[in-house]
A and B are shown apart, each in its own frame.
Chain A
Amino acid sequence: MCLAIPGLICEILSDKRVMVDITGVRREADTSLLEEPLEIGDYVLVHTGFIISKLDSEQAKEDLKLWDEILNP
């Protein structure tokens, strides 16, 4: 139920709507629940037609460093 699916923004349709590529399938999604601006190429989480979160790509890079610290102290 709380499943949120990762997707890639591939088109900005309007102020409140974008097209998201979810594993090759394009779906429209509503952006009303997100304050941050979205751009083509952003990774997002989609839940029942709404975008609920945007991937922090800097943090994703940090994750790699963190693993390195845990695994090779």
Chain B
Amino acid sequence: MSGPTSKYRDKEIVDALIRKIKQITNEIEDKVRIMHVCGTHEHDLVKAGLRSLLPKEIDLIAGPGCPVCVSSAQDVDEILWVADNHNVIITTFGDMMRVPGSKESLYQAQGRGVDVHIVYGVSDAIKLAEQNPEREVIFFSVGFETTSCVTAAEVIRTKQPNFSIYSSHKLVPPAMELLVQRDDLEFQGFLAPGHVSTIIGAQPYDFIAKDYGFPVSVAGFEPVDILLGIYSLLKQIKENNPHVSNDYKRYVKYEGNVAAVKALNEAYVVSDARWRGLGTWPNTGHEISEKYSHIDAKKKYNIPELNSIDLQGGCICDEILIGKSKPHQCKLFNKTCRPDYPIGACMVSHEGTCNVAATYEEIIWEE
């Protein structure tokens, strides 16, 4: 795949963009904090070493963009409750296996005999249900719009009777609005997630720019994409001209992927959602709509009220997830909490902020 991607990694263009960014940062004469809301952004920008290339006046902070990290302990607890009380096979993405529940993760539960299978996606979970007609199969589905539209496609078309979905899906734009409204967070622009935006388009961010006067750039993932996004935000800040700049136009249309958005609207209804350590955020989730309630695991199984604990033993994932703290500020970071032995959810996925920092031993500036 050298073809269309290689030029987005071109060293000369990267260097030239860094020079432009330095120039405009000097003109702004103030510190600028930019928040991204995408685990892939965090992973790819750290892997490319971009933070160390930026002027020190720019702080690029990670928001709650890793769907594995933000999934609540209660979701894990509820899935395990179903597994312990019904004859079911649990299926989910590999990344979800080690996400801590209140007492144990799916991986730990597997060790005591709970039937958990890792699948590549929802379609493989349905295949497993076809192969095991005498068992019930549940797909524990997490993810933002990028992933939830794929699950939506199967919600709409599957006729598999012994199959259901536990939805832990979350929505990006309403979560961004809640972040802008918080007065304990200070930042001046959003790098919006490129792959979520291939689905929903650039349009759903318009209100963030219009109603809150907040700059937004929809950015891709190659070094040039990320730097262009940052440059475009700095330009908006300098010119005091907040708007939504689509800087990933080769894959993102203003209106998004119409068929995928249609699937989302058909399969789900907007609901409140639990974000790890951050409580319930109104209208930031997707539950399966009434029309498809026969495959909604939450309706199929009468799950009792559980008292769940999101943060264990000093984990500060709640602060990491909104960019209030950085991984090295957690006293467990790279000591008792490591990628091979995660204590908090942000250390589990290779897109989690703590995992990325530990993996690439990133140097993160002190304030």
Contacts and interface: CB of A to CB of B under 8 A. Distances in A.
A binds B: yes
A63 B297 CA distance: 45
A60 B4 contact: yes
B195 A64 contact: no
In which size bucket is the chain A interface?
Answer: 20 to 34
Main secondary structure on A side of the interface with B: mixed
Contact of B121 (A8, A45, A49): A49
Given A34-B259, A35-B259, A71-B20, A4 B146 contact: yes
B281 interface: no
Nearest to A67: B13
20 contacts: A1-B67, A2-B38, A2-B65, A4-B146, A7-B1, A8-B3, A35-B257, A47-B146, A47-B195, A48-B123, A48-B150, A49-B120, A52-B150, A52-B199, A55-B4, A56-B249, A63-B250, A67-B228, A71-B13, A71-B20
Contact of B196 (A2, A48, A71): A2
A43 to B, nearest CB: 6
Contact of A53 (B123, B144, B153, B252): B252
Interface of B: 1, 3-5, 7, 13, 16-17, 20, 38-40, 65-68, 93, 95, 120-124, 142-144, 146-147, 149-150, 153, 157, 193, 195-196, 198-199, 224, 228, 231, 249-252, 257-260, 263, 349, 351
Contact of A2 (B144, B224, B250, B257): B144
Interface in A16-37: 22-23, 30, 32-35
A59 B146 contact: no
Given A47-B146, A48-B122, A52-B146, A63 B249 contact: yes
A45 B92 CA distance: 22
Given A4-B198, A48-B150, A60-B4, A53 B40 contact: no
A70 B195 contact: no
Given A59-B250, A64-B7, A3 B40 contact: yes
Interface of A: 1-4, 6-8, 22-23, 30, 32-35, 43, 45, 47-50, 52-57, 59-60, 62-64, 67, 70-71
Contact of B195 (A34, A45, A59): A45
Contacts of B198: 4, 45, 52-53
B260 A33 contact: yes
Contacts of A48: 120-123, 147, 150
A48 B150 CA distance: 8
Contact of B93 (A1, A7, A32): A1
Contacts of A1: 39-40, 66-68, 93, 95, 142-144, 146-147, 349, 351
